[in-house]
Structure 1
Amino acid sequence: MYEVAYQPEADEDLEKLDKSTRERIIKKIHWLAKYIENIRPEMLGGNYRGVYKLRIGNWRVIYGINHAQKMITVFTIGHRSEIYKT
């Protein structure tokens, strides 16, 4: 199982969500940490080249993977209509 680290922006994003949505997203992130070696993460391109997305309904988690350290770093969390806007 990989460890999960949250960047300050991701922590702030989680705090803004209602309890039900927050719990659903955290549960899915923990699932990702447990099964990361058995799945094919979806890599992003463009401004997000080199990072990955996790879909939870209409919500997205943008994260990075360090396989050497067995670490997932969550960078940001947001609604799919807003997350990719720069």
Structure 2
Amino acid sequence: MIFGIEWSERAEQTLSKLPGYISSRIVRKVDSIKSDPFHYLEHYEGNDVYKLRIGDYRALIDVDFENKLLKIVIVGHRSKIYEQKL
């Protein structure tokens, strides 16, 4: 089951501020999980989103099961991402 990918404006803004090699690594990782996302995603406790580990960075992802869509809500360094409001 292949999922589509949608980036929130907030996630895109964060990516544009990161160094190129980090943002491209994040984009490649997100793109690589669309055929089997639940092998890589972990449920983020206390929320209705999942987290994806990408080195020292994390992506919080909202999964739309009906439309088979992964919406990347927030991207950030692991030391700061969990402090942000969804």
What is the TM-score with the length of structure 1 in the denominator? 0.89
Say if 2:33 and 2:40, in contact at 8 Å, map to a contact too.
no
User: Structure 1: how far apart are the matches of 2:79 and 2:70?
Assistant: 24
User: Structure 2: how far apart are the matches of 1:62 and 1:42?
Assistant: 10
State the Cα distance separating 1:40 from its structure 2 match: 5.9
State the Cα distance separating 1:2 from its structure 2 match: 1.0
**Which residue does the alignment assign to 2:25?**
24
User: What are the ranges of 5 or more consecutive residues in structure 1 without an aligned counterpart?
Assistant: none
The number of residues matched between the two structures is 83
RMSD between aligned residues = 1.3
Superposed CA offset, 1:4-61 (max 9, x none): 1111100101101111001100000001112226x26201123xx1100000010000
More helix by share: 1
User: What are the ranges of 5 or more consecutive residues in structure 2 without an aligned counterpart?
Assistant: none
- In percent, how many aligned pairs have the same letter? 29
**Which residue does the alignment assign to 2:72?**
74
User: Structure 2: how far apart are the matches of 1:8 and 1:72?
Assistant: 14
User: Structure 2: how far apart are the matches of 1:19 and 1:82?
Assistant: 20
SS for the counterpart of 2:83 is: coil
**Which residue does the alignment assign to 2:60?**
62
SS for the counterpart of 1:11 is: helix
Stretches of 4+ moved more than 6 A in 1? none
